[in-house]
Amino acid sequence: MKQKTIRSEVRFSGVGLHTGNKVEAVIKPAGIDNGINFIRKDLNPPAKIEANIEYVYDVVRGTALKKDGFEVYTVEHILAACAGLGIFNVDIEINSNEFPVGDGSAEPFVKLFEEVGIVELEKEQEVYEVNEVIEISNKDTFIVIKPDKEFKISFTIDYDHPVINSQFKELVINEDTFKKEIMFARTFGFYKDFEKLKNLNKAGGSSLENTIGLDEEKVLNKEGLRAEDEFVRHKMLDLIGDLCLIGVPIKAHVIAIKVGHAVNVEIARKIVAKIKSDKAAKNALDIQQIRNIIPHRYPFLLVDKIIEQEDDVYCVGIKNVTANEEYFNGHFPVRSVMPGVLIIEALAQLSGVFMMSKGEHKGKLPFFVGIDKVRFRKPVVPGDVLRLEVRLKKLKGSMGRVEGFASVDGKLVASGDLMFSIVDA
């Protein structure tokens, strides 16, 4: 599957469901790896808020994002439209702090995208295939993500209301099923909650034109429901929109019971953490691969393996300290203690592996040029497993700086900042 965007920009106007603000939105095509971004054009300069789970800050009756003090409310319906069609590269410009609600579903946005056309970009779309069970349970709410070869949702809701009662829907989610079964389902609310929500600065733009309204016994909208189980379908729509904040499509079976935005977002955070963990583990290196990257050799090669790393972020390695280390013959031979300078050297070598495994630096050499803020806290002795971690603080041209930590059994034994220069071999 290729990455997708829209062929040309589309415009949409309306009111914000919660703020009641009149909003003009322009959704523009974007290139490879752009992602989905909300851009507040009413601000000077305009503020960009990425559709990223990291920026979720409010999940009361909708999902809102906040970055650098600026918010965008009710993003889940437009994100569901994007995810339902496989579109993960667009810029969404708005002139207020909430995306317009339309009719309370994703259908108006899907139709706009189809009118201008959807185009493929020249790069494969990353898809995360869930490889282990992830779940959240809390009293009577429950969500579990199970490995699957497709994206499937099984959703159950249960309301003490004669129109809704218990509803269950299970679907494999793809473009076809999203358009036929999900996109038209509208948000809903109870008249008895309306004043309470207004006191929370919510539902300020809600009306029977964009919400299914219910009193104690019936649906208040003259046209009635679009499907008898429209309520559970909309809950699935919300879930699809919230999971879009992961940043990539997933292959998984999502089983959800009586959950809303808060739980949707919490499980999305867990999936993102698992994606990061999996990517870091894929970058593990054995001793032979380390030898192919840095020139150090026994007895001065002080990193045995790399257990995880993330480009431009961090790297973690292991040094097994044994009684056969050459330096123990002369350094406190009666009571063997690993020299502190060699712990720092091990961190420096880890930094070298971290930087030299990057494509633009392969074949070059790292030179250790300075240290700062070094502290030694506990002795390291034979039998210890030294966990080494470096985190990139700065990299400009051929000069870099990392923050290093060495620990044994979870306890910090040494730390400090290391500066290095990357030179041609």
In terms of phi and psi (left: phi > 0; alpha: psi -120 to 50; beta: otherwise), the region of 394 is beta
Listed residue (423, 311, 408, 307) closest to 361, CA to CA: 423
Residue 22 to residues 41, 87, 97, Cα–Cα distance (Å): 14, 26, 10
Listed residue (104, 98, 110, 109) closest to 221, CA to CA: 104
| 144 neighbors 133 (Cβ within 8 angstroms) | yes
Backbone φ and ψ for 163, nearest 5 degrees, come out as -80, -35
DSSP single-letter state for residue 242: H
Kindly report the number of other CB atoms within 10 A of residue 141's CB atom: 14
| 29 neighbors 82 (Cβ within 8 angstroms) | no
Listed residue (375, 366, 365) closest to 417, CA to CA: 375
Integer Cα distance of 222 and 242 in angstroms = 30
DSSP single-letter state for residue 264: H
Residue 88 is which amino acid?
Answer: F
List 315's β-bridge partners, or say none: 309, 390
Residue 39 to residues 52, 77, 257, Cα–Cα distance (Å): 13, 17, 34
Identify the residue whose tokens are 């698992």: 274
Q: What share of the chain is helix, strand, coil (3-state, %, to 5)?
A: 25, 40, 35
Q: What is the distance of C-alpha 65 from the center of its chain?
A: 13
Integer Cα distance of 62 and 128 in angstroms = 25
Residues serving a catalytic function are 261, 331
Integer Cα distance of 96 and 134 in angstroms = 36
| 391 neighbors 322 (Cβ within 8 angstroms) | no
